[in-house]
């Protein structure tokens, strides 16, 4: 009878019904140590139940080592590191899981050096021990230390350990090292493939990420994390064709279509590819919309200059009692900037703190500067920059400098350029914009001075590039590019278009 009830408690916990598990536990007239440990594990899985777990632990008649290990995990999940230390130090008997729980908990709470010291003191270790230390250094961004421990590991072929290293290499932009390790792996699981696909996308190699994604799905079922990374890659490349294929793939499984991360990635992909109607359809069909989904849709309208729809969606979000965050206000302020709604922009800027308790960040000030600059109010934009409680970043001065060129304001252009070039002395755009302001004002000697400084500083203009998708393939073009395999055909077509344009254009009478 007790074993049957214990199994039922485990089922309740596995299904996320902790209250149901506790009610069943409280009805038990006879409880064994498995009963106590099962319900304790339920309280330990997530943060927020430390008090209940501690009270329960103190009531266990004869707690065993599993009880102590479970409680250690609970302390770490609730960021009570001192509590975990005290419990561990007071244990009369420690097994391997006790040491691993401490090392893993310390690593996840950012105390990886302390975890490494404990690791060194362990009587013996297994793969979990090595994984905890290596993963801790990866999370901390110390790939050299992670690599040092990885090379010492007794079983370097462990898939979890190797996947942690791939993640670390990708996070450190050592893509070649990640590729080499991935190629050497005897066994790859879904997490390994996801780490590679996501790593490529995050390192601006979306095309490689999507190529690997295509290889992966031949033999393995993707999960929401895979699809989200692949869709981000499609967004980066504006690859609508492949994005639609991934959408079809997601519809084949309800677990994908109901996942908010997949839905948000889909609507972001459609938005960035300019397909706002499809993006809105995905948004409206989502059964679970978190603040990230709302932000993505509001931002989609904002970046395409559809400000009124963006504002209407924001109002709908508020009416549905959803709490906006700082990203939401970046989106609505961007919408104001792209549609010239200065008064509404100021309203949002002040109301975010007053009505919603969201503090201003440098991004919100940047949006307001952008809004004022686009509206031609360069003096007001400069006053706002000077009043910022943060140190303005380069983009703010770049916006002001660009606006000064349009408004022919030499004084503020010099102020913006001086600050921009102090922060980024090799920013070619700053020199070019300032020279253009001087040229518009016919200040030719100053134009020459800027060009001399550029030449002496060896500042070179970085060529721009663009890309298009044709027949499912992405073609990239750079300014002055002579390497494209179909360059002759492209040039021929451009000349033909130029001829047709000359025929079509008629002079005004």
State the greatest distance between any 2 C-alpha atoms of the chain, in Å, as a whole number: 100
Residue 460 has pLDDT above 70, yes or no: no
* Per-residue confidence (pLDDT) for residue 509, from 0 to 100: 41
Residue 375 has pLDDT above 50, yes or no: yes
* Per-residue confidence (pLDDT) for residue 481, from 0 to 100: 66
At 113-143, the pLDDT tens digits run 999 999 999 888 899 999 999 999 999 999 9
* Per-residue confidence (pLDDT) for residue 486, from 0 to 100: 76
The residues with which 467 forms a beta bridge, in sequence order, are 476
What sections of 60-189 are H helices per DSSP? Answer: 65-77, 81-89, 96-108, 112-121, 127-140, 143-152, 159-171, 175-184
Mean pLDDT (whole number) for 398-421: 86
Whether 329 and 362 have beta carbons less than 8 Å apart is answered as no
Residue 472 has pLDDT above 60, yes or no: no
* Per-residue confidence (pLDDT) for residue 129, from 0 to 100: 92
Per-residue tokens: 120: 């060194």
* Per-residue confidence (pLDDT) for residue 463, from 0 to 100: 62
* Per-residue confidence (pLDDT) for residue 31, from 0 to 100: 82
* Per-residue confidence (pLDDT) for residue 382, from 0 to 100: 94
Rounded to 5°, angle at Cα 306 from 287 and 245: 50
At 220-256, the pLDDT tens digits run 888 999 999 999 999 999 889 999 999 988 887 766 6
Q: Does residue 471 come out as left (phi exceeding 0), alpha (psi in the -120 to 50 range) or beta?
A: left
469-486 exposure pattern, b = at least 16 Cβ within 10 A, e = fewer: beeeebeeeeeeeeeeee
* Per-residue confidence (pLDDT) for residue 479, from 0 to 100: 63
pLDDT band at 311 (very low <50, low <70, confident <90, very high): very high
Whether 231 and 268 have beta carbons less than 8 Å apart is answered as yes
* Per-residue confidence (pLDDT) for residue 253, from 0 to 100: 72
Weakest mean pLDDT among 172-181, 401-410, 446-455, 466-475 = 466-475
Q: Does residue 332 come out as left (phi exceeding 0), alpha (psi in the -120 to 50 range) or beta?
A: alpha
* Per-residue confidence (pLDDT) for residue 456, from 0 to 100: 65
Whether 12 and 43 have beta carbons less than 8 Å apart is answered as no
CA atoms of 256 and 222, how far apart (whole Å): 9
At 92-102, the pLDDT tens digits run 899 999 999 99
Taking the model in full, what pTM does it have? Answer: 0.77
Residue 484 has pLDDT above 60, yes or no: yes
Q: Please count the residues of the chain.
A: 509
At 167-206, the pLDDT tens digits run 999 999 999 999 999 999 999 999 999 999 999 999 999 9
Phi, psi of 474 (to 5 degrees): -100, 130
Task: Give the HSE-up count for residue 214: Cα atoms under 13 Å, Cβ half-sphere.
Answer: 11
């Amino acid at each position: 009878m007790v074993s049957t009830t214990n199994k039922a408690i485990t089922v309740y916990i596995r299904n996320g019904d902790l209250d149901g598990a506790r009610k069943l536990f409280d009805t038990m007239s006879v409880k064994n140590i498995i009963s106590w440990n099962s319900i304790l594990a339920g309280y330990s899985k997530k943060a927020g139940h430390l008090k209940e777990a501690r009270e329960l632990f103190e009531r266990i008649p004869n707690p065993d080592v599993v009880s102590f290990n479970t409680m250690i995990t609970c302390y770490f999940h609730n960021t009570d590191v001192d509590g975990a230390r005290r419990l561990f130090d007071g244990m009369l008997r420690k097994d391997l899981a006790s040491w691993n729980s401490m090392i893993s908990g310390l690593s996840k709470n950012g105390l990886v050096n302390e975890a490494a010291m404990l690791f060194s003191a362990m009587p013996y270790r297994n793969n979990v021990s090595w994984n905890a230390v290596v993963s801790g250094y990866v999370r901390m961004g110390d790939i050299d230390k992670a690599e040092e421990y990885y090379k010492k590991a007794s079983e370097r072929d462990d898939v979890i350990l190797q996947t942690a290293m791939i993640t670390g290499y990708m996070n450190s932009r050592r893509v070649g090292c990640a590729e080499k390790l991935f190629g050497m792996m005897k066994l790859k699981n879904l997490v390994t493939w996801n780490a590679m696909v996501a790593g490529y996308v995050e390192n601006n190699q979306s095309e490689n990420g999507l190529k690997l994604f295509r290889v992966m799905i031949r033999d393995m079922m993707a999960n929401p994390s895979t699809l989200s990374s692949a869709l981000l890659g499609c967004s980066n490349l504006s690859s609508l064709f492949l994005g639609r294929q991934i959408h079809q793939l997601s519809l084949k499984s309800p677990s994908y279509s109901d996942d908010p991360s997949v839905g948000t990635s889909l609507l972001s992909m459609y938005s960035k590819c300019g397909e706002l109607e499809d993006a809105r359809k995905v948004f409206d069909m989502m059964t679970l919309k978190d603040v990230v989904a709302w932000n993505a849709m509001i931002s989609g309208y904002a970046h395409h200059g559809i400000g009124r729809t963006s504002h209407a969606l924001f109002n709908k979000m508020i009416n549905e009692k959803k709490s906006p965050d700082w990203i939401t206000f970046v989106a609505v302020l961007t919408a104001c900037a792209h549609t010239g709604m200065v008064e509404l922009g100021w309203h949002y800027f002040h109301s975010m703190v007053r009505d919603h308790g969201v503090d201003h960040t440098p991004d919100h000030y940047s949006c307001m500067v952008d809004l004022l600059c686009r509206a031609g109010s360069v003096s007001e934009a400069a006053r706002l920059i000077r009043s910022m409680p943060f140190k303005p970043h380069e983009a703010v001065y770049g916006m002001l400098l660009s606006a000064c060129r349009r408004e022919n304001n030499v004084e503020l252009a010099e102020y913006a350029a001086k600050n921009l070039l102090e922060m980024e002395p090799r920013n070619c755009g700053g020199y070019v914009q300032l020279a253009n302001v001087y040229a518009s004002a016919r200040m030719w000697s100053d134009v020459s001075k800027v060009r001399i400084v550029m030449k002496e500083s060896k500042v070179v203009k970085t060529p721009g590039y663009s890309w298009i998708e044709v027949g499912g393939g992405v073609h990239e073009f750079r300014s002055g590019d002579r390497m494209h395999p179909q360059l002759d055909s492209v040039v021929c077509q451009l000349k033909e278009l130029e001829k047709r344009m000359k025929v079509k254009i008629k002079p005004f009478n």
